[in-house]
Structure 1
Amino acid sequence: MPNNQPAFLTTSGTPQPNQSTRLFRIYNHYRLAICMMLVGLLLVDPGDLGIQFRAPELFQIGVFAYLSLNVFIALLLFAGIKPQPRHVIVSISLDIAFLHGFVYCTSGIESGLANLVIIAVAAGNILTPSRIGTLYAALAAIGSLLLAAWSVLVLDDKADAIVRAGTLGILYFAAAFILQSITRRMTRSEALASSRAQSIQQLEQINQQIIQRMRTGILVVDRFGNIRLVNAAAEELLFGIPGGALAKRSPKGQALPRLLRQRLEDWLKAPELRTAPFQASPTAPLVQVNFTPLDQEHGELILVFVEDLGKVTQQAQQMKLAALGRLTAGIAHEIRNPLGAISHAAQLMEESDNLGPGDQKMLDIIHRHSKRVNGIIENVLDLSRRREASSELIDIKTWLPEFLDNYRHTARDDSSPTPNIQLGVDDNLPAARFDPSQIEQVMVNLCDNGLRYSFQTVGEATLQIHAGITSDGERAFIDIRDQGPGIQKENHGAVFEPFFTTDKSGTGLGLYLARELCEANQAHLSLLNDDQPGSCFRITFAHPGRLI
């Protein structure tokens, strides 16, 4: 059977060792206080207090022995020794024996010191609320009755002493039973409260894990824009921090970014209006934020949801391209057959000796557009049958020069002009987690585009590549900058959309496919918005400790 006993209790129903030690330490402080009071009685004239001593010398010896015992126990507790149940039993039994000895040395059972025995019995039942507590009451009752009988028979005390001893015995047992019941109830209540607190803590941890793993960014802020709580998705979308568990710094307690703070102020003025999307940084994704008050009455805390619009757009595009891929796969054979016949017929016409300049121009148009249609079919098929990423840690400082060396040889074999690629690599680059074949495909696509546009603009196929470290110091990035005409600002938001192109010979799928491959490896491909000539695309890799 499973053990349903609360963790707060031991199997006997007594408090846990930590609580028992704390209670025993408190009781020992009480005993030290009693000892000091008894020592004080030795320093004053007993007649002034109306106290009579039957055996003053024995009382003095007993007081110092009791004081020494309690001081020794206090030193043991101070040294960190935890009392075991047997130590508690012996200690309470010695208290009962010492107190009865003090009662004997004074005026007998009629002495007020007899009331201290009740406290000792009560303390024993609190420390060990079990049958042992009844034993304390029995020992105290027997001790009081024996002491009263001895006083009556040997010392000629009044018979009323026996009645008082019996009354004290009843009080001992009453205190034992009442305190056992109260202590057990309190212990069970504390155990239940502790169990529920543990359950609440576990639920809170589960909720925290759920919130931290959500891809929707969540923040809790006050009306002044100070962050109270933030999950990993919001850290990455707004601050570029690669996950709360991986980052060495957290924006918790800081102020909101400027653009988000402006939208918070706009929402506070007009809660019914929907705020405009924005980018927290040039390389950050486009996000949409929504606000809602956590406290409807006071509204001191505000819950902020941060949605990555790029993800939403990407999902919609993936659905469209998946359908287009299935369609293309179904009709690719039907398209390629006539497309091949057209290309073959054009090649045969080129062999004719009677072609004029106009006919040759028409044939060039046929070849160019046939190649373009075939490229579109190939790209869409690649999107529909793209395999999952098989990521591994890559040393950018070693991999990038090797890639460029191979790329230069490939480009030199082609009819395109010899590329002039300048490479710069920072020191202490973090490793990048990526699929080697997919990152090579992304780099080839970006380099081909950059070299082509540079050649068209400045007459030289030139490119600048720089590998560096992000501002958080934990991720690597690669910048690919060309000397082309650049991309118009109104087209920045559409440059990664499928089939968008400003080149008449392009398919409009290259940059989209490159970003898709980056997203599959938890990297991010972005277009930097700076004032330098040409275009600069940045690949920001995922944190090397993040598993894909």
Structure 2
Amino acid sequence: MSTHTPSAQAVKSPFGPIADTQQIRLFRIYNHYRMLISLMLTGLLFIEPFTADTRLRWEEYYQAGVFSYLALNVFTGMLMMAGFKPRERHITLSILVDIAILHFLLLTSSGITNGIANLVIVAVAAGNILNPTRMGTFFAALSAIFSLGISGWAVLAIHETADDIVRAGTLGILYFATAFVLQSISKRMIRSEALARSRAKSIAELEQINRQIIQRMRTGILVLDAGGHVRLANAAAEELLFGAQENAGTTLPHSLVLPPAVKEGLAAWRENPDQRIEPFQATPTSPLLQATFTELDQEQGDQTLVFVEDLSKITQQAQQMKLASLGRLTASIAHEIRNPLGAISHAGQLLDESPNLDQGDRQMLDIIHRHSRRVNGIIENVLDLSRRRAADARRIDIAAWLEEFRAEFRQTDHDGSPVYIELYVKSSLPAARFDKTQIEQVMVNLCDNGLRYSKQQTGENRIQLHAGATADGERAYIDVRDFGPGISPEHHNSVFEPFFTTEKTGNGLGLYLARELCEANQAHLSLVDDDQPGCRFRITFAHPGRMI
């Protein structure tokens, strides 16, 4: 972002959007001055010594001019009080009227030697402050012409002394000097003010950019006061720490309540700043988090800056590196494995056609076929992981998409048995961004597992799909519940690890692949423990407006 000094053209037009307020304020002050002067002139008309000691050429015209000047200034003040905002032409006209009326008073009073001539200097000065352009020089020239004209007329018509012409010339020089000095000062002030405004705008833009960057960072950032209350929290921190709390999503940071794990970590860090707290989960459905504390103000030490990292991202990167190496290894040896595997499978098929096999031999052939398919499935799954494409996330209406998914999933073959899929969708469901193909693959995996375990436990192919929003109302989630035997508590932290399985026929990559696909869409797949029969897997989507 670059800053620049305003050009001369910007200075020549001081009534642009930047200077309007300032010019109106200065004109209001000048109008108060004019009203005060006109009141004083009016008051002097009622003082007897003034009329006795001062020779007025045309007293009636002079009095009319004073009253007219007062009425004009009062009218202008009332317009300003009513909310009228004068433009450049109004201010210019006011200065010209001032110069004309003041010279009319000089003409009808005692001439150029009258003290009213000093008021003309103020009018010229005000004109050059309010309009520091060529018009300001015109004000000075017009005043000098009027002064010389009045003095010349007095010398020729009523035989005044030539000293009036000298005084008028001196006043003319003073008018021009006032104009040049104030124009220079006013232009410099306008340049300085425009530069200050430009820099202030640049700073505000930089601050806004920084705020947006902080809000869109995937790292959670918190600012805590000495009492451990939240002063500031970016979107990632709210999502990671407060997404499932009832008070999440509020616009008042101090109303956010720190999770107990963060409070304990903060207390331990304050006792021993070199200690690093253990990873934790803010809620049962949140990813594994790591908090780091540091003092925000080294001098006062009353504020603490907290960085909250999503360890699942780091774990994901490590797993991706491991799987990338595994994928390259598998790709290099797949041909060598598949050739003997194909030969074994083909030999088993030929042997299966023999009429001289007894029951024991056929059981051995069944073992060969089953494990050949299992080995081939492991190779295919690992290759799929290494070939996974980037997610093409699009904004999706969860309710409509789930209806479409359920209808299509029911059409697939499930051992000929009827399939019962109960769908529950809450109202006012927020949208989500994800790749339909990849999330559909996750849902198929979860639903297939759910139907299989439900069939084992209850004898029915039955699952439930729940769609709702997190407590902050900004992120959507989908739950897949089955009615199977469930997962033992000691295996809750291992179900998403690669190659972990409790079945003899499984390869342990299904749930791991499902979580990987969710992470690729910035969603989170978790196992929810709600003390209900069966398993409940939840896909929590990222905020549709905060995805990076």
CA drift at 1:166:
4.1
Name the SS for the 1:386 alignment partner.
coil
Corresponding position of 1:341: 343
**1-side partners of 2:194 and 2:464: how far apart?**
68
From 250, 264, 267, the counterpart of 1:265: 267
2:300 aligned partner: 298
**1:254 counterpart residue number:** 255
Q: For 1:124-523, what aligned pairs fall within 5 Å after superposition?
A: 124-151=127-154, 161-240=164-243, 249-250=250-251, 252-259=253-260, 260-349=262-351, 351=354, 353=356, 355=358, 357=360, 362-392=364-394, 394-413=396-415, 419-457=419-457, 461-523=461-523
Q: Figure out how many residues of one structure are paired with residues of the other and give that number.
A: 537
SS in 1 for 2:196: helix
Aligned equivalents of 1:50 and 1:534: distance in 2? 112
Identity of counterpart residues, as a percentage? 62
| CA deviation profile, 1:444-469 (whole Å, cap 9, x unmatched) | 21122223334445565543332333
Change (3 A) 1:410 1:91: closer
Partners in 1 of 2:53 and 2:235 — Cα distance? Answer: 76
Structure 1: give runs of 5+ residues left out of the alignment.
Answer: 242-246
Contact 1:467 1:476 in 2 (8 A): yes
Decide which of 82, 87, 90 is 1:83's aligned counterpart. Answer: 87
Alignment partner, residue 101 of structure 2: 98
Q: Could you say which residue in structure 2 is the equivalent of 1:244?
A: none
What is the 5 A alignment of 1:8-27? 10=10, 12=12, 14=14, 16=16, 18=20, 19-27=22-30
One-letter code aligned to 2:12:
S
Is the CA contact 2:61–2:108 (under 8 Å) kept in the aligned structure 1?
A: yes
Instruction: Decide which moves more: 527-536 or 184-193.
Output: 527-536
Deviation by residue 1:51-101 (Cα, 9 ceiling, x = unmatched)? 5544332122102222333344445555545322x5444332221221122
Deviation at 1:442, TM superposition (A): 1.2
Q: Does 1:111 align with 2:114?
A: yes
The alpha-carbon deviation at position 347 of structure 1 amounts to 4.4
Equivalent in the alignment of 1:527: 527
CA gap of 1:214–1:175, structure 2 versus 1, over 3 A, is same
Residues 407 and 152 (structure 1), Cα distance of their counterparts in 2 relative to 1, 3 Å cut: closer
Give, in angstroms, the shift of residue 380 of structure 1.
Answer: 0.8
> Contact conserved, 1:13 with 1:184, CA < 8 A, in 2?
no
Q: Deviation digits for residues 270-290 of structure 1, max 9, x if unmatched?
A: 322212222222222222121
CA distance in 1: counterparts of 2:162 and 2:11, whole angstroms: 46
Structure 1 residues 170, 394: closer, same or farther in 2, change over 3 A?
closer
Contact 1:7–1:195 at 8 Å: present in 2 too? no
Structure 1 range deviating more: 327-336 or 145-154: 145-154
Structure 1 residues 79, 8: closer, same or farther in 2, change over 3 A? farther
- Residue 482 of structure 1 contacts residue 534 of structure 1 at CA under 8 Å; is this kept in 2? yes
Aligned to 2:68: 65
Question: Superposition RMSD on alpha carbons, in Å?
Answer: 3.4
Cα distance change of structure 1 residues 429 and 5 upon mapping to structure 2, 3 Å threshold: closer
Residues 31 and 121 (structure 1 numbering): CA distance in 2 closer, same or farther, change over 3 Å?
Answer: same
* CA-CA distance at 1:370 after TM superposition: 2.4
Q: 1:431 Cα deviation (Å)?
A: 4.5
Say whether the 8 Å CA contact 1:394–1:434 is kept in structure 2. Answer: yes
Mapped to 2, the partners of 1:140 and 1:421 lie a distance apart of 93
Preserved CA contact (<8 Å) 2:137 2:180: yes
- In structure 2, do the counterparts of structure 1 residues 292 and 511 end up closer, same or farther at CA, with 3 Å as the change threshold? same
Does the CA-based 8 Å contact 2:465-2:478 persist in structure 1?
Answer: yes
Q: Which amino acid aligns with 1:31?
A: R
Instruction: Give yes or no for contact 1:117–1:140 (8 Å, CA) kept in 2.
Output: yes
Q: Distance in 2 between matches of 1:122 and 1:478?
A: 74
In structure 2, runs of 5+ residues without a counterpart are none
- Shift of the alpha carbon at 1:335? 0.9
Q: 1:317 offset after TM fit, Å?
A: 0.7
In the alignment, is the contact (CA less than 8 A) between 1:225 and 1:255 conserved in 2? no
Q: CA contact under 8 A between 1:432 and 1:543: conserved in structure 2?
A: yes
Q: CA deviation at 1:265?
A: 3.5
SS of the equivalent of 2:480 reads strand
Q: 1:193 to 1:9 in 2, by over 3 A?
A: farther
Amino acid across the alignment from 1:511: L
